[in-house]
Amino acid sequence: MKIETLAIQTTLTHDANAGAVVAPIYLSTTFEREADGSYQHEHVYSRASNPNRQQLEKSLAVLENGAVALAFSSGMAATTALFQALKSGDHIMVPDDAYYATAVLVTEVFEQWGLSMTKVDMTDLSQIKRAIQPNTKLIWIETPSNPQLKITDIQEVSKIAHDLGILVAVDNTWATPIMQRCLDLGADIVMHSTTKYFGGHSDVLSGALIFKENNALSEKIRTIQKLTGGVPSPFDCWLISRGIKTLPLRVKAQTENAMKLVEYLSHHPQIEVVHYPGLTSHPQHEIAKKQMTGGFGGMLSVQIKGDAKNAMALTGRLKLFTTATSLGGVESLIEHRKSVESADSPSPESLLRVSVGIENIEDLIEDWKVALG
Ligand SMILES: *Cc1c(COP(=O)(O)O)cnc(C)c1O
């Protein structure tokens, strides 16, 4: 079955109570026990498991072609659970332009627990090889990266890592399984901020880990999930499941719009550079073509001529692009990334990150035309 069909099939319900086609939301935190001590419906208490979460986790595993998935209350809660499965003294590698909070999570929280981290430019495989230490346990990939859309070769990094028994996890938030199937490319774990494209309407915070194999590591992280309780509410799970039904359609529409906007902006005299993996001029375009088999996605960044002030002013002149952080919703958003991160952020001063929505592309281009003058 193709992914558009799977997105519908995996989120359908076969409801024994009322024959509901759309899943009911199970708000109950506790579930009935039989006189013999068993649980007829396997659920006991909602921190450990809940029908809506169980259904969402099944769908996530199917979409990423994994063996098992675990849902969390945010993307960062998912990342945290994975790092918590590592031991004091372990070393991890992250991209030098990883999602800002991912690296800060290590320096602010996990370093004091004995985890060490090296930031590496993962577009250069020799840098990855050089940064490997005897205690390296995990290589964290983010591709396309945020906000410069650098592309890391998932297949090649997985080969390097697996030769040495190192795990590979990919933050696949930007590409989604519609564009990029990380587990098929060799990664062991996929992380999603399902807050973004999966939810798709900027109204639910949640995250997930999807594992290629159901093994000791996935079970350990399931234990962490149940014990620490960073889980999405039943309603959050329901919203993500609903988002999944239209995920393939939305992402395709956003990608088509992004391609056309990129085409327009890359020829505009006020634009210094457009960062988008679908451009043949993108430094890792060939790798992107190889691994982003579903398309190049709805995210792009532009560096405009001028400085941070000029870039900020432009966001004010755009009427159809709301100036706000986050991404992946049906509405177009724009943000000046460096000022959202911090003074030491590696994002260029003049860079604006754009999450392209599903509006009519002629309107979106016209908006830029007017704003750029
Ligand atoms: C938003 C985001 C995260 C963090 O997810 P939350 O749901 O906000 O916790 C991680 N990685 C990427 C690429 C993101 O865009």
pLDDT in tens, 268-314: 999 999 999 999 999 999 999 999 999 999 999 999 999 999 999 99
Q: Which one of 193, 325, 355 would you pick to mutate in the ligand 1 pocket, going by the greatest count of ligand atoms within 8 A of its CB?
A: 193
Rounded to an integer, the average pLDDT of 20-35 is 96
Domain shared by 215 and 268, yes or no: no
Residue 171: half-sphere exposure toward Cβ, Cα within 13 Å: 29
Q: Are residues 73 and 48 part of one domain? A: yes
Same domain, 125 and 20: yes
Is 76 close to ligand 1, i.e. is its CB under 6 Å away? Answer: yes
End residue of a domain, out of 180, 212, 242: 242
Q: Report the residue among 73, 76, 299 best suited for mutation to probe ligand 1: largest number of ligand atoms under 8 A from its CB.
A: 76
Q: Is 196 a catalytic residue?
A: yes
Residues 236, 257 share a domain: no
Residue 210 has pLDDT above 90, yes or no: yes
3-state helix, strand, coil in the chain (%, to 5): 40, 15, 45
Instruction: Give the pLDDT confidence score for residue 93 in this predicted structure.
Output: 98
Nearest residue to 299 via CA among 237, 352, 230? 352
> What is the number of structural domains in the chain?
2
What CATH number does the domain containing 168 carry?
A: 3.40.640.10
Give me the pLDDT at residue 229, please: 98
Q: Look at the block and give the residue holding tokens 């049906």.
A: 330
Please indicate whether residue 10, judged by its CB atom, sits closer than 6 Å to ligand 1.
no
Look at residue 346 in the predicted model and tell me its pLDDT. Answer: 81
Q: Is the pLDDT of residue 266 over 90?
A: yes
Of the residues 26, 99, 197, 276, which is catalytic?
99
Residue of 99, 209, 337 with the most ligand 1 atoms within 8 Å of its CB, for mutation: 99
Q: What is the domain-level CATH number for residue 284?
A: 3.90.1150.10
328 C-alpha to ligand 1 centroid (Å): 11
Q: Whose CA is nearest to atom 15 of ligand 1?
A: 173
Mean pLDDT taken over the chain: 97
Q: What is the average pLDDT across 91-112?
A: 95
Distance from residue 76's CA to the centre of ligand 1 (Å):
6
> What is the CA(268)–ligand 1 centre distance, in A?
31
Q: Average pLDDT, stretch 26-54?
A: 96
Range of the domain at 275: 248-372
Please say if the pLDDT value at position 343 is more than 80.
no
pLDDT attached to residue 263: 98
Residue 157 has pLDDT above 80, yes or no: yes
The C-alpha atoms of residue 212 and residue 187 are separated, in whole angstroms, by 8
At residue 199 the predicted structure's pLDDT band, cuts being 50, 70 and 90, is very high
Residue 196 Cβ inside 6 Å of ligand 1? The answer reads yes
Same domain, 237 and 253: no
Q: Are residues 295 and 151 in the same domain?
A: no
CA dihedral 250, 255, 257, 259 (to 10 degrees): 180
- pLDDT for 344 equals 78
Catalytic residue among 90, 97, 171, 367: 171
Confidence of residue 50 (pLDDT cuts 50, 70, 90): very high
Task: Please list, in sequence order, all residues whose beta carbon lies within 8 angstroms of the beta carbon of residue 234, skipping any fewer than 6 positions away.
Answer: 25, 26, 27, 46, 50, 51, 52, 53
pLDDT band at 224 (very low <50, low <70, confident <90, very high): very high
232 and 253 assigned to the same domain: no
**End position of a domain, from candidates 191, 216, 242:** 242
State the pLDDT confidence band at 357, using cuts at 50, 70 and 90. very high
234 and 303 share one domain: no
Same domain, 237 and 252: no
pLDDT of residue 201: 98
Q: Is residue 215 located within the same domain as residue 356?
A: no
Q: Look at residue 342 in the predicted model and tell me its pLDDT.
A: 77
Q: Give the ligand 1 atom nearest the CA of 328.
A: 15
Give me the pLDDT at residue 347, please.
Answer: 87
d(CA 127, CA 156): 13
For the segment 315-341, what is each residue's pLDDT rounded down to a tens digit?
999 999 999 999 999 999 999 988 888
Report the C-alpha gap between 232 and 334 in whole angstroms.
27
75 CB near ligand 1 (under 6 Å) = yes
Q: Which tokens go with 84? A: 């918590």
Q: Above 80 in pLDDT, residue 237?
A: yes
* pLDDT level of residue 89 (50, 70, 90 thresholds): very high
Q: Is any ligand 1 atom within 6 A of the Cβ of residue 146?
A: yes
Say yes or no: 68 and 140 in one domain: yes
User: What's the CA-to-centroid distance between 171 and ligand 1, angstroms?
Assistant: 9
CA nearest to 194, candidates 214, 179, 209, 180: 209
Q: Is 143 in the pocket of ligand 1 (CB under 6 A)?
A: no
**Do residues 175 and 285 share a domain?**
no
The type of residue at 74 is: S
**Residue after which a domain boundary falls, among 187, 212, 242:** 242
- Residue in 196, 203, 240 to alter for ligand 1 test, most ligand atoms within 8 A of Cβ: 196
Distance (Å) from CA 114 to ligand 1 centroid: 24
The verdict on whether 97 is a catalytic residue reads no
pLDDT of residue 96: 93
Ligand 1 in reach of 277 Cβ (< 6 A): no
- Mean pLDDT across the stretch 115-142? 98
